[in-house]
Amino acid sequence: MSVQKTSVSRTTSLTGAAVFGALAAVITFLIQIPWPVPGFTFLQLDLAEIVDVLAFLLFGPAVGLFTTLIHYLVLNFLPTPSPIFGPLLKLFGVTSMLLGMWLGYGAYARILKRRGGVITGFGLMSGTGAALRAIILTPINYVFLIFVFFPNTVFSTSYLSFYFVGLATYNVIQTVLATVVPFVVVKALSRAAPNLEVRTWFARMKPSTAAQAQKTP
């Protein structure tokens, strides 16, 4: 019976990932919010990443990453301003953000779980997600800029510094947008349906009853 229950759980998670990933791709296609910063108008705030992070919080890191992969694959079949390379950069960005959040959760679980609450843990996850995303995308964007978008073009050091600082700022703000909304949604769902909270991966961030008792004087 336990084997059957695990199988159903995995099937449900994978189905959810497929649905969430396809939904994220459609949102990317339908909703375009330009980044209102001179020199970076080619960027867009992507509400679809909210769906990727929501799958990550509800079902766990593996399902969240699989959702991101589905998001990427479906994007390749939809018309986008930058085919092939646009979806690929999106894959790198969201994947690095989720991996950073996973690392942040690991640090929280090992160091701060007995002393901090869910908000502390989530803040750490968002911070590491934003940092890893900005760090990983900087060399990737450099390669794309030099060899894909503007080959045989010489850029000054001052321009490259301006360009990559601007991209890093965008990635940090995009991470905040993509993580805060799912956190609010998951917290609201937890209050509305306590049984759902017990089943979510994000519920593990709460200190155990024993840990809470140790904190009580």
Residues linked to residue 44 through DSSP beta bridges, in sequence order: 34
pLDDT at position 2: 40
- Where residue 205 falls among pLDDT bands split at 50, 70, 90? low
Domains of the chain: 2-215 (1.10.1760.20)
- Give the pLDDT of residue 83: 84
Two structure tokens written together for 145: 């800029």
The residue among 176 and 190 whose pLDDT is bigger is 176
Give the residue from 31, 178, 10, 204 showing the smallest Cα distance to 98: 178
On the question of pLDDT at 8 being above 60, the answer is: no
Residue-level pLDDT at 78: 87
The residue that leads in pLDDT, 116 or 68, is 68
CA gap 41, 170 in Å, rounded: 11
Query: 82-103 pLDDT, tens per residue?
Result: 888 999 999 999 999 999 999 9
Closest by Cα among 107, 119, 128, 111 to 175: 128
Segment of 5-19, 36-50, 90-104 carrying the highest mean pLDDT? 90-104
**Nearby residues of 137 by Cβ (< 8 Å), 6 or more positions away:** 89, 92, 93, 96, 167, 168, 171
Distance, CA of 56 to CA of 67 (rounded, Å): 8
**Concatenated DSSP letters for 146-212?**
IIIISTT----HHHHHHHHHHHHHHHHHHHHHHHHHHHHHHHHHHHH-HHHHHHSGGGGGSPPHHHH
The percent of residues in the chain predicted with pLDDT above 70, rounded, is 83
